[in-house]
Amino acid sequence: MKLSIVVPCYNESKNIPLILEKFSSVIKRDDVEVLLVNNGSKDSSQEILDMLIPKYSFARVVKVKVNQGYGFGITSGLNEAKGEFIGYTHADMQTDPADPLKALEIIEKQSNPKECYIKGDRKGRPLFDQFFTMGMSLFETLYLGTKFWDINAQPNIFHRSFFDSVKNSCPKDFSLDLYLLYMAKKKGLNVIRFDVIFPERLHGESSWNTGLASKWKFIKRTLDFSVKLKKEL
């Protein structure tokens, strides 16, 4: 298996059929798998997955009984991945399922693909969200002493040896995006960014991007983790 794509799903029953169909239309090779993680959903996500997954030979399900956070769901999927290269994207259809395949194409053009970390760079976002990203990126750059931009962009694709080297310290929440990018930079990986389009969410509600209160909660968690990260590393 060349590439394993993990897709965490929390109450994404309406988006699951769309993302599976989209993956089906863009996967043109038999060495790519998609792992949909039911991350403790409380809606009908599991029933939808049970019904649809048998129709897609490239797809598997990883079930997390109790939601323990965004990062926990992703790492649960990554631990089950079979690919030489592994990574993740989102189920909300704001990230194109074609993007991880584009990341694989970039990897396969590199002279030393094992030392690469491929990450999206979001375009087409609302102005307020761009300012939010700019502020968070500036803080992390100054505080952690290495350049950051659009930390939470998807997809994130890397060699499984990188994940094996950091998986025991992965945070369980949204800080996972920051942690993996920071560790990739610290370990000297070649971080390659590529443009991805970020449209409006089609169905469901974001588990964090729902207003100023949720953004403040996200900021506080990120700042707390940044302090912890700097102390430990």
What's the predicted TM-score (pTM) here? 0.90
Give Cα 105 distance to the centre of its chain: 18
Residue 29 has pLDDT above 80, yes or no: yes
Least Cα distance to 6 among 176, 228, 195, 130 occurs for 176
Q: Residue 228: in which H helix or E strand, if any?
A: helix 212-232
Domain count, the chain: 1
Range of the domain at 42: 3-232
d(CA 55, CA 75): 25
Q: What is the pLDDT of residues 96-153, one digit of tens each?
A: 999 999 999 999 999 999 999 999 999 988 888 888 889 888 989 999 999 999 999 9
d(CA 233, CA 230): 5
Q: Report CA-CA distances (Å) from 75 to 82, 93, 193.
A: 13, 20, 22
What CATH number does the domain containing 173 carry?
A: 3.90.550.10
